[in-house]
Structure formats: C-alpha cells, structure tokens
Structure 1
Amino acid sequence: MRLATLILPTLLIAGGGVAALAQTAPAVAPAASSPASDIVQGRRAAFRLSGATLGNLKAAAARGDDLTKVAGQARALAGWARAIPGMFPAGSNVAPSEALPNVWTDRAGFAAKAADYAAAADKLAELAKAGDTAGFTAQVDAVGKTCGACHAVYHVPPKA
C-alpha cells in the first residue's frame, strides 16, 4: 500500500488540523531518501496530524461546536490507529525515527496499544455523531491517554 494512500485521507479529513500543524511544525530539510526513511517521514507526519486533529477535537468541544460535524475527524483518528502497526515494518528504525527497538521486539504489545487507541477513537466518533458533549469531552481525554500510554513504552522519551 502506498504511503500517500494512508496519509492523504487524514490530511483531507483533519481540516483545521493541517493549518494548526503548518503553524507549529518546524521546517524539515529533505533527507536522503530511501524506502525506510520515506516510511519514517510519513509516519512522523501522520503522528503530527493525529496530534493536531485531537487538539482540534478538544477545542471544538471546549467551544461548544456542533460535534456531529467533527465525527469524521474522530473516525480518521481511528483509521490511523489501525494503520499504525503497518507503519513500522522491519528495517524502518532509521533516523529520524523516535521509535524504541521494542516496537519490533514486542509486536503484540505494540499492536495492542494501537488497538486501544483505535477503540478509544471509535468511541469518540460515536459520541460525536450522537452530539454528546459531556461524553465527547471525557473521551477526548481518554484518546489522549491511549496515545500517551503507547509513547510511554515505545517512543524515545522527550528531551528535558
């Protein structure tokens, strides 16, 4: 499956997330291209879009927006979560990857964390579709916690 097939729908659905990302993402000089480095660049971009989308959803709830209009963004997060394990094929732990080696040595655990993220995002989409502001607001936090749970185990810790 081509990388653009996974990322382009997220870009289109994220809407305002793209604008927010463009304002906060640092310019990245093109690296020497290889299939592995292309995968790393694609998944890094998709993770940034995921974070921007989640931030937009949280802001929509805080503003009191009509949540039925953002259900597609939550579904996009769930779709991305299901794609995450496939974005870490063998041999793709190359710079500038921030994945820890246990992504590849603990595939079952890694896939389980991605499945938790997908399930949380699916529930978020259901709450958005129902227009349940209180449930949606709580679930946005739950989705964020599933992201953090995976990063705590499989991602290089942020620099202090």
Structure 2
Amino acid sequence: MRGGTIAILGASLVLAAATGANAGGQTGPAVSTPPAAASVPVDPAAIVAGRKAAFLLSAANFGGMKAVIDSGGDVAGQAFAARSLANWAKALPAMFPPGSNVAPTEALPNVWTDRAGFEAKAAAYAEAAGKLAALAKAGDKPGFAAQWSELRKTCGGCHEAYRKEDKKG
C-alpha cells in the first residue's frame, strides 16, 4: 500500500506544481519557476489522467483499510494510508484547474462553477481523513472503523455532487 500512497502524493505534487496551483494564493516564500519549466505546456488530458490514477490509488487505500477492519487487524499500520488520503484531499482542488474539464473526465461542470462548495467538500474529506489517521495511530479499532465509514461518506458526498453518475453495472 505504501507505494500507492506515495504515488498519490507524488502525482498530486507534480500536477499541482505543473498547473500553478499556488499562483496568486501563495502564503510562503516566493518560489521561482525555472524558465524551461515555464515553457512546457500542461496537457489538460494529462491532468485528467493523473487525477483518475490518484482516485484509483485512493480506492486501493480504502479497500486495504476495510480489509484490516474486517479482519480485526491492527489499525495502527493504516495511519500512513489515512494520512495520504488527507494529503490527497488537501491537493484535490488544485487537481481541477480551469481548462481541465476535458474527456475522459468524470467531473461535472459544477466543480468549476461551484468552486467554494467543491473546496468545502474537499476540506471536509481532509478533516475526516486526518481524524482517521489519528485513530489509526492510537490503535483505536472501533473508532477507526466508525471513522472509516464517516470518511467514505465525505468521499461519496463529493462524488454525488461533483461527479458524473456511474453508468456501470
């Protein structure tokens, strides 16, 4: 699972940097972009592919945590996976820059037109994942299981509001 969560974080950071996620809203020291990097165009289809891959890695983390819950295993080992989901949730808004609503995205247009709502849902997801990580670190099996369900609700709530209906089945 660690490789998947590291890939989520790496993909998030690379794509956030490539899309200029902090442009204009930077709170830390100014970061200069090397001229060569500034001249590389960002392909919206590549952004969609990156976020789809990260969503699949998130699903793998959810599945791995659920398997530990169902088996009664030690949840302390799931703290890293939960923290990676919290970090992914914090990066989520940057993964949907203007112009990235291109096929084969499953995002609805309101990701961009209701940006405040989308960012609020991502923040709720990050908070729920942070609580899950704390419960994992404490080894609290019942608390972890209950919070895992809450995390799934925050994840699903965003999908219900901002993702095209799944036509599979």
Alpha-carbon RMSD across the aligned residues, in angstroms, is: 2.0
Give the residue type in structure 2 aligned to 1:53: N
The 5 A counterparts of 1:59-138 are 59-138=67-146
Number of matched pairs: 135
| Partner SS, residue 70 of structure 1 | helix
The CA deviation at 1:10 is 3.8
Residue deviations 1:28-67 (CA, integer Å, cap 9, x gap): xxxxxx6100000000010111111011111111112221
Sequence identity, in percent? 57
| Partner SS, residue 137 of structure 1 | helix
Quote the Cα distance in structure 2 between the aligned partners of 1:74 and 1:91: 30
Corresponding residue for residue 9 of structure 1:
6
Quote the Cα distance in structure 2 between the aligned partners of 1:12 and 1:95: 24
Distance 1:148 1:12, change over 3 A: closer
Runs of 4 or more above 6 Å deviation: none
| Partner SS, residue 56 of structure 2 | helix
Quote the Cα distance in structure 1 between the aligned partners of 2:112 and 2:93: 10
Corresponding residue for residue 35 of structure 2:
none
Residue deviations 1:138-160 (CA, integer Å, cap 9, x gap): 11111100011001110001116
- Whichever of the two has the greater Rg, that structure is 2
Give the residue type in structure 2 aligned to 1:51: A
The CA deviation at 1:122 is 0.3
Quote the Cα distance in structure 2 between the aligned partners of 1:126 and 1:62: 19
Corresponding residue for residue 139 of structure 1:
147
Structure 1 residue runs of 5 or longer lacking an equivalent are 1-6, 14-33
TM-score by length of 1: 0.79
TM-score by length of 2: 0.75
Give the residue type in structure 2 aligned to 1:9: I
The CA deviation at 1:8 is 7.0
The CA deviation at 1:123 is 0.3
